[in-house]
Structure 1
Amino acid sequence: MGNRLNTPILSADIPRMGNKFSCWLGASVLKMMGWRFCGEFSRHAKMVITIAPHTSNWDFVIGIAVALNLRLKITFFGKHSLFTPPFGPLIRRLGGIPVERSKAHGVVEQMADAMLNADKMVLCITPEGTRSRVECWKTGFLHIAHKADVPVFLVAFDYKKKQIEFGPSLFIGDDTQYELNRIYTHYQAVQAKFPDKVATHVVPTGEKD
Structure 2
Amino acid sequence: MLKKLSRRLLARLGWKLIDPPERPAQAVLLAYPHTSNWDGVYALLIKLALGLEARWVGKDTLFRWPVGGLMRRLGGIPIDRRAPRGFVAEMAAQFATHPNFLLVIAPEGTRSLTKGWKSGFYRIALAAKVPVALAFVDYPRREAGILAYLTLTGDPATDIAAIARHYEGRQGKRPELASPIRWLD
Q: Which position in structure 2 is the counterpart of 1:128?
A: 108
1:115-194 equivalence runs, <5 A: 115-194=95-174
Give the alignment's TM-score, normalised by structure 1: 0.80
Structure 1 unmatched ranges of 5 or more:
1-19
1:58 aligns with 2:49: no
* TM-aligned CA distance change 1:80 to 1:25, over 3 Å: farther
> Secondary structure at 1:192's aligned position in 2?
coil
Q: Which runs of 5+ in 2 are unaligned?
A: none
**Alignment pair present for 1:200 and 2:185:** no
Give the Å deviation of 1:146.
Answer: 0.6
Decide which of 11, 17, 40 is 2:20's aligned counterpart.
Answer: 40
The alignment's C-alpha RMSD in Å is: 2.0
Higher relative contact order (CA closer than 8 Å, sequence separation 6+): 2
Q: In the comparison of the two structures, how many residue pairs are matched?
A: 185
Q: Which runs of 4+ in 1 moved over 3 A?
A: none
| Structure having the higher Rg | 1
Match of 1:92 in 2: 72
Q: Which amino acid aligns with 1:158?
A: D
CA distance in 2, matches of 1:129, 1:42: 28
Counting aligned pairs with the same residue, the percent is: 36
One-letter code of the match for 1:77? Answer: V
2:135–2:146 CA contact under 8 A, matched in 1 = yes
The structural deviation recorded for 1:94 is: 1.0
| Residues 41 and 167 in structure 1, CA contact (< 8 A), matched pair in contact too | no
Q: Which moved more, 1:38-47 or 1:49-58?
A: 38-47
Give the match's secondary structure for 2:144: strand
3-state SS of 1:179 partner: helix
How far residue 41 of structure 1 moved from its aligned partner, in angstroms, is 5.0
Contact 1:188 1:200 in 2 (8 A): no
